[in-house]
Amino acid sequence: MEQSRRGLDLNKQASVVLSLDFGTKKVGICIAETYTGQSSPLPVLKNDDHLFDNLDKVINEWLPNFCIVGKPKEMREDFKKAYKIFYKKFEERYKISIIEVNEDFTSQAVSKDKKKRDYDSYSAVLIFEEWFNQKNA
């Protein structure tokens, strides 16, 4: 009874989430879960001919229930085209629900020490946290 008074929902289901920070050169990636909001950055993937082969490995290892992808409100035309191609291919290949989250300020929010390594994956963490905080506000 004490647990429920503190707001802990014992009936809440945990889902595994793949969070992505899409870029035309690199894709930041993190794995997270929805019960506690814990997240962990994974190694950045190059956005090249092997991107989806590398995503296959991540998805087969973590078996996410759905995906969150950061989407800026304003996009250059070349970025918009690349994003649409990526989104469509991801959706067709994995048959996983995708939730788009505004990512306009995530890159600026990544601390300088984290920018040195896996910068884009820390942006993916912030994209997940933005979604998680909005959902649980």
**Is pLDDT at 39 greater than 60 in this prediction?**
yes
**Is pLDDT at 3 greater than 50 in this prediction?**
no
Edge to edge, the sheet with strand 39-46 lists 39-46, 26-33, 16-21, 66-71, 97-102
| H or E element that contains 68 | strand 66-71
Side-chain half-sphere of 28: how many Cα atoms within 13 Å? 27
Binning pLDDT at 50, 70 and 90, where does residue 67 land?
very high
Domains and CATH numbers, the chain: 14-135 (3.30.420.140)
93-118 pLDDT tens trace: 999 999 999 876 555 555 555 555 56
Is the pTM higher than 0.75? The answer reads yes
Mean pLDDT of 111-127: 71
